[in-house]
Chain A
Amino acid sequence: MAASSIYVHIPFCEQICFYCDFNKFYIKNQPVDKYVEVLNEEMKRVISMDEKPSIETIYIGGGTPTALNEQQLKQVLDDVNTLVRNPEQVREFTVEVNPGEVDRDKLKMMRAAGVNRLSIGVQSFNDKLLEKIGRGHSAQEAVETIDLAKSVGFENISIDLMFGLPEQTMEIWKDTISKTLELDIPHISAYSLKIEEKTMFYNWYRQGKIQPLPEDTEAEMYEVLVSGLHNAGYTAYEISNFSKYGMDSEHNKTYWKNNEYYGFGAGAHGYLDGTRYANIGPLPHYIKAIENGESAVKESHEVPKTEMMEEEMFMGLRMKEGVRADRFESKFQTSYYTIFPEVIHDLLERELLYDSGDSLHLTKNGKLLGNEVFEKFLLVY
């Protein structure tokens, strides 16, 4: 099955958030124009102009794509469109946006280039908390960016929220949820903090300067979120993604459905022809590789069938629709009950999974303990 999704990574930021461990660099003094040029070169090498693929979803992420200036961003969007057989019919074309980093013109340019969905990194509507996690914007700026996007004509808007942050109280979190509901946004991603190595938070955590929230508080925050959004008419179509009817993120579903996708840019990941790959992360190395005519791929892994089946389960179960029996069978010519008999029965018995007849799903408790469930589907290890 040919890939019908494209991910493009823009590894620049105006400001580095304390929790972020993605491949990203301070944009100041970086060869941004060069990067845009080299990125295009990488894409053209992978996708032949003679055999352009039909594409369903495009996602420009980062870093912060909006750290690029209007002209640079336009160049990237145009370059991507050039690769696509059906630029007018791409179902979902998302760009990640940081509050305060777009003006009317930039947004208009994006719409003109075919972008039909924005993912805005709001994280919180509490200014003190925003400052404590190293975001460079205020709650007010976030609201203004959302309003501006709406006024330019973007209807499919998603915002990112974070919970489980140090010093975040239940009150602050509830307040952020209710502000979110007031804004009437069709899609919300809510992520709980994980303190990753190579972040400011990790250093502070090790020095004892910050404490992660207790597990119980984090669990309550998740429950408050789920019930709050449920009552407001959102569907939790994935563990941390919520949407109004029909507004699921098709691009992210590519990952969870274990489908293939192109990944371009420094540090980007992709999955093509049964092989998962990761590009070189550090900018100078990435640029040099492309300029020398070498591959941007740092490491690749041909996914064996067993792993593919494992991934089908631990990614698919994240979704409300779960893992469908017929889909699994047509992909692997066997059923999940044949491959994971004891695991599934054990998880059903412990009420972490349920079988709706034609598919498997996480139960309410199973969602909270997702990693405990997913772990069981690793056969090889």
Chain B
Amino acid sequence: MNHEQRDARQKKIRNFSIIAHIDHGKSTLADRILETTRSLPEREMKDQMLDAMDLERERGITIKLNSVHLKYTHTDGEEYTFHLIDTPGHVDFSYEVSRSLAACEGALLIVDASQGIEAQTLANVYLAVDNDLEIIPVINKVDLPSAEPEKIKQEIEDVIGIDASDAVLASAKSGLGTDEVLKQIVEKIPAPSGNPEEPLQALIFDSIYDTYRGVIAYIRVIEGTIRPGEKIQMMQTGKEFEVSEVGVFTPKPVVCDELTVGDVGFMIASIKNVSDSRVGDTITHANKPAEKPLPGYKTMNPMVFCGMHPIDSNDYNALRDALERLELNDSSLQYEAESSQALGFGFRCGFLGLLHMEILQERIEREYGIGLITTAPSVVYNVYLTDGEVLEIDNPSKMPDQQKVDSVEEPFVKATVMVPNDFVGAVMDICQKKRGEFIDMQYMDENRVNIVYHLPLTEIVYDFFDQLKSNTKGYASFDYEFIGYRESNLVKMDILLNGEIVDALSVIVHRDFAYERGKSIVDKLKELIPRQQFEVPVQATIGNNVIARSNIKAMRKNVLSKCYGGDVTRKRKLLEKQKEGKRRMKSVGKVDVPQEAFMSVLRMDED
């Protein structure tokens, strides 16, 4: 390709992503766009094509990013190349969102015509604005009776401050407005700027690990051109590789000769580990490097930690293999071996947030078939000892003795809750109970309010979502960002079963809430731990003080009496099932404790 051809081609590229709240129709609109541009033969269309993993389909959320290369013939008769870059729809992954937005020149903002803007949407729109993206508002589900498109337009203008007069009125479900969306993409979103002859700068916005081909980096070329056979360098890690393949997703991967300015596609370079191909890193040529990397790179630090232990200790190696595999695909997952008296050998794992944690747990159980016991999640505490030493504690059982501790700091977040007027009281009530500090409250319109609190992260980890949902009938939407560490009056609470401390159940709590939490945990354990052949006392203690206690009564009767007409096979199956059930529990001292019990410290009883 010569200079002029490249230039002409570059002018017809449009890169965009879609920003939307869960359920506002992002995946459906993406499907319509794919359909309309005939990127997929109809027989290959499954609903919500971009959500590839089973887990994603089930949960209706996108976990891993995807990008698609599309051809669109505009009303001017010219053919345009679109790259649609999908973004994950959850707060845990906001860095990934920001990087994929950085790979675009524009974004479709989908807002539900009845629901309006949600906290999550707002956070992502700000990221888009931050990345200088052209935003095309799309008001979706306008065919529903409760739709109020004019009101939503006004809201977009008031809240985000962009012109919404040309907002597309759409129904992704029926296909209404799809053509208009495509038209606006061509007309409003600028073509990529940049020079194919300049030193290479390609942004990695995702990378996945493929068993056969190693790491596949999802990239956007900002400057320069990348071709197979070239030596490249990762500008953050300094590592060098040789490009073996480049290509685009249609959405099937299709190999091509080069990727140049504005192109979005993949690159394979015999990279063994995703940590060598980090999201946000810049790829350049080893022999003719760019002067500086693209801005915005961050190393992601896990915020939430929990212990993951195999139920069957023979699965320890299998669990390590699974984590190694998952880590290949997920550079923000951290883990290190730990051993718990109660749970045996396992791993302390760090995650970006709660959803990230749940997804990983589910994948290990589902894809690797390993039964897991996970402890309640914890945040990282800064512990200042009286001798001047400072410790970072991510496992409550590792908290030093009270006497040695001078002070403890915990992570705080700025939490933004968007909620209809009627629930303001309820939300403030929850935040107050969660040790929140009121910061701000803004009315978005007559009915909707944006409430801002500073909250300890640990309180968000501990049943905040559930409470928020149940107390606002599901209307509240919620987002948070880390703001820093603050000192708090925190103590370690131990849980004793049959007189022995179960390290995996220890929690760090605020002193003022210790009694309440202790009682709730003890009650929950009494409910979850089946009767044993002896009475089991359950206690919550702080230091040497018992603050709550209960007893699990001894098992009285467990014997099958029916004869089943001599059906011994059936009796055997019943006994096998019983035995299997016990195997799925963890013996702590002499007490058989079921899996759920270790998470129970998380959940409060409903009042």
Contacts and interface: CB of A to CB of B under 8 A. Distances in A.
B565 A311 contact: no
A7 B572 CA distance: 20
Interface string B567-607: 11101101110111010000000000000000000000000
Contacts of B571: 314-315, 374
A234 to B, nearest CB: 16
A240 B561 contact: yes
A152 B580 CA distance: 50
Contacts of A314: 571-572, 575
Contacts of B580: 381
Given A278-B569, A301-B569, A311-B568, A255 B563 contact: yes
A222 B558 CA distance: 11
A269 B561 contact: no
A294 B364 CA distance: 47
Interface string B387-398: 000000000000
Tell me if A's interface is mostly helix, strand, loop or mixed.
Answer: mixed
B169 to A, nearest CB: 46
A261 interface: yes
B568 A315 contact: yes
A335 to B, nearest CB: 22
Given A276-B568, A368-B556, A370-B559, A350 B575 contact: no
A85 B563 CA distance: 28
Interface centre among A261, A269, A367 (most CB of B within 10 A): A269
B559 A368 contact: yes
Interface residues of B, number: 27
Contact of A371 (B531, B556, B558): B558
A190 interface: yes
B563 A252 contact: yes
A239 interface: yes
Nearest to A269: B567
B555 A215 contact: yes
Contacts of A368: 556-559
Interface in A265-308: 268-271, 276, 278, 301, 307
B585 to A, nearest CB: 13
B558 A369 contact: yes
A33 B586 CA distance: 55
A216 interface: yes
Interface residues of A, number: 45
Given A311-B572, A381-B579, A191 B562 contact: yes
A252 B564 CA distance: 11
Nearest to A366: B559
A22 B570 CA distance: 12
B533 interface: yes
B238 interface: no
Contacts of A248: none
A52 interface: no
B557 A219 contact: yes
Interface string B517-544: 0000000000000010100000000000
A9 interface: yes
Nearest to A377: B575
B560 A261 contact: no
A350 B559 contact: no
Interface string A165-190: 00000000000000000000000011
A301 B568 CA distance: 11
Nearest to A373: B559
B41 interface: no
A200 to B, nearest CB: 17
B161 interface: no
A192 interface: yes
B566 interface: yes
Interface in A1-47: 7, 9, 22
A125 to B, nearest CB: 19
A309 to B, nearest CB: 13
16 contacts: A22-B564, A22-B565, A191-B561, A239-B561, A252-B563, A269-B564, A269-B567, A269-B568, A270-B566, A278-B569, A311-B568, A314-B571, A315-B568, A369-B557, A369-B558, A371-B560
Given A7-B565, A191-B562, A271-B568, 17 more contacts: A239-B559, A254-B566, A263-B565, A269-B564, A269-B568, A311-B568, A314-B572, A315-B571, A367-B559, A368-B558, A369-B558, A369-B559, A370-B558, A370-B559, A371-B559, A371-B575, A374-B571
Interface of B: 531, 533, 553, 555-569, 571-572, 574-576, 578-580, 582
Q: Which 6 A-B pairs have the closest CB atoms?
A: A370-B559, A219-B556, A240-B561, A219-B557, A191-B561, A269-B567
